[in-house]
Structure 1
Amino acid sequence: MIFLLTLTNFLTPSLNNLLALMKNAPALVVVMAFFLGWLGCWLPIAAISLKLLNWQPIKPLQPEQKLPLMLSLYLLAPLILGGVIWLTNSSFANYGFVANLALLRSLALGFSLGVISIASLFICQFWLGWCDFEGLNIKQLLSVSFPIFFIALLVGGIEELVFRGFLLTELARDNPLWIAAIASSLIFAVLHLVWEQRETLPQLPGLWLLGMMLVLARICDRNTLGIAWGLHSALVWAIATIDTAQLVTYTGKVSELWTGINKKPLAGVSGIICVLGTSLILWFFERGLL
């Protein structure tokens, strides 16, 4: 008992000093503390997971091995962010996440816009003869779309909370919003290299532009994350479902630069145009023209 009281008396001033330091810390310090804490907590979990999955360092990670690693990383993020919020005396609402009915409405609106955007992209490509629809594979939709839907909601929600919520808000404390938007979107794009380098490199410009579009989505939604979350989740869900069910084959009529290198829409001109078109719709919405 005496030991516990002594330990408490020793730690209390240090904890109070840490709280005072974090409350007044520059944005860059807060951002670094979050990402270092997130990575530091995840690495032991990743090491144990890789051991259980019998991963060999000489072999690339397979999709079934990446999924548990990704889920563990993403599930940790709100916990680490909660710790940062406690240290800095902030709130999830300050980062754009407010649990209410308005969030659900915005989520549904963003998801609908995302599905329409992807549908328009592929309809145009079908019309131009750049790809074909594999109707025989449509029977796989029910078996793959629902699991992917829930994963997409998780991925979209966590990434929006981290990048358009926490990171954008913190960077905007010490910088103009446009600099915070560019920087947070660049970090968002580059960190995708963690999972796959060869396929991600050609997508970096598209991923950065996607990040900028999602910043605009937050601005349109009265600085909350509902539309951005729905839009992001819809894009992940639609593209992953199409790939998994093999609903589309490319005809080779045009270069991959148009349809997307390695069959990734964000690595092609058509995908970039899709993002720009969706951004234009968001801009009209923000201006009250829709």
Structure 2
Amino acid sequence: MFATSLSKVAFFFIAWAIIWLPIGVLVSRKIQCLPNRSLTTNQKLILLATLYPIAPLILWWQTRFEGLSFLDFGLDWQLSLAASFSWGLMISLAELAIVFGVEFKLDLIKWHWQNWQFLRALFLPIFGLSLAISFVEELVFRGYVIRELTIDLPYWLAATIASIIFALLHLVWERKQTIPQLPGLWLMGMVLTVAKIVDGGSIGLAWGLHTGWICGLTCIDSAQLLTYKQEIVWITGVDRQPLAGIAGIMCLLATPVILWIPNAITDAVMQLLN
């Protein structure tokens, strides 16, 4: 029954929260998170670094208990995983370059080229955290949650519900900034699900896409590589959040098309050869 699948998913998130809560409280005090104050990028990354290692441990325990493996969640440690990840990473970084390039041409942003030097110290830690965060989110949402829900539901409905949960849980960190992004976050979840389907059920391609988006945006923000000369909210997004504006949404909508192109070329070549 659907209630059984949903209750298992709910139990997973409740267990995750209960285990992390005391850790989160201690870390929040250490990094001086103040009530009614927005988290800085660094504070958020530190909290995520303490939260995310817990989820794979819970899933590992669950796989042992139910006789499953991470392969059931789309994680197969093969060379193809690395290839899919690399392809997704290149696509996502190229998309960000195009989005900000267009905004630059529209005279909406100003680049601070002198700040690129700061990336030498920032890039590796940001990339490492982006790699870990996106891995856990793909393993949980596109892997575990969809797998559990598809036991009782059609794949499209399971993906829709998983993407809704994915979007809503972002409210834990920043409600004011996240609310305008909820439709975009849901769409992002659906696009990453498409990536998983394109990748034959592996999370490698979705993991690469997700890593590139997080890493690219965090690097730009942390190194202060650009400032907005003017904010056209419907383009740049509310509070300059890409997923709350047309630029970010168009980037997401273009992704399934880009992912489809290699398959279309392969099919066309095979038809010509036959």
TM-score, normalisation: structure 1: 0.85
Q: For 1:208-227, what aligned pairs fall within 5 Å after superposition?
A: 208-227=186-205
Note the aligned Cα RMSD (angstroms): 2.0
Residue 50 of structure 1 corresponds to which residue in structure 2? 28
- Amino acid corresponding to residue 250 of structure 2 in structure 1: I
Match of 1:152 among 106, 114, 130: 130
Structure showing greater Rg = 1
Residue 239 (str. 1) matches residue 217 (str. 2): yes
SS in 2 for 1:199: helix
Q: Give, in whole Å, the separation in 1 of the partners of 2:253 and 2:33.
A: 40
Q: Give, in whole Å, the separation in 2 of the partners of 1:201 and 1:103.
A: 33
Maintained 8 Å contact 2:41/2:222? no
Maintained 8 Å contact 2:95/2:251? yes
Q: Give, in whole Å, the separation in 2 of the partners of 1:178 and 1:225.
A: 17
Number of residue equivalences: 265
TM-score, normalisation: structure 2: 0.90
SS in 2 for 1:132: strand
Query: Structure 1 residues 238 and 65, CA, compared in 2 at 3 Å: closer, same or farther?
Result: closer
Mean Cα deviation higher: 60-69 or 222-231: 60-69
SS in 2 for 1:222: coil
Query: Structure 1 residues 285 and 169, CA, compared in 2 at 3 Å: closer, same or farther?
Result: farther
> Structure 1, residues 80-132: CA drift from partner, whole Å, max 9, x if none?
11112222222100000111211111111110111111111111112222222
Q: Give, in whole Å, the separation in 1 of the partners of 2:143 and 2:41.
A: 28
Q: Give, in whole Å, the separation in 2 of the partners of 1:108 and 1:191.
A: 27
- Amino acid corresponding to residue 46 of structure 2 in structure 1: P
Query: Structure 1 residues 57 and 137, CA, compared in 2 at 3 Å: closer, same or farther?
Result: closer
Q: Give, in whole Å, the separation in 2 of the partners of 1:152 and 1:98.
A: 20
> Structure 1, residues 140-166: CA drift from partner, whole Å, max 9, x if none?
221222211111101110110011110
- Amino acid corresponding to residue 189 of structure 1 in structure 2: A
Q: How much has 1:49 moved relative to structure 2? A: 2.5
Residue 269 (str. 1) matches residue 246 (str. 2): yes
Q: Give, in whole Å, the separation in 1 of the partners of 2:4 and 2:263.
A: 30
SS in 2 for 1:174: coil
Match of 2:63 among 69, 85, 90: 85
- Amino acid corresponding to residue 261 of structure 1 in structure 2: V
Mean Cα deviation higher: 60-69 or 231-240: 60-69
Maintained 8 Å contact 2:164/2:186? yes
SS in 1 for 2:176: coil
Query: Structure 1 residues 52 and 137, CA, compared in 2 at 3 Å: closer, same or farther?
Result: closer
Match of 2:168 among 183, 190, 207: 190
Maintained 8 Å contact 1:220/1:285? no
> Structure 1, residues 243-276: CA drift from partner, whole Å, max 9, x if none?
1111122221x62221111111111111101111
Q: Give, in whole Å, the separation in 1 of the partners of 2:35 and 2:119.
A: 34
Mean Cα deviation higher: 140-149 or 276-285: 276-285
Q: How much has 1:69 moved relative to structure 2? A: 2.3
Residue 259 of structure 2 corresponds to which residue in structure 1? 282
Which portions of structure 1, spanning 4 or more consecutive aligned residues, are displaced by more than 6 angstroms?
Answer: none
Structure 1, gaps ≥5 residues long = 1-24
Match of 1:95 among 73, 90, 103: 73
Match of 1:69 among 19, 32, 47: 47
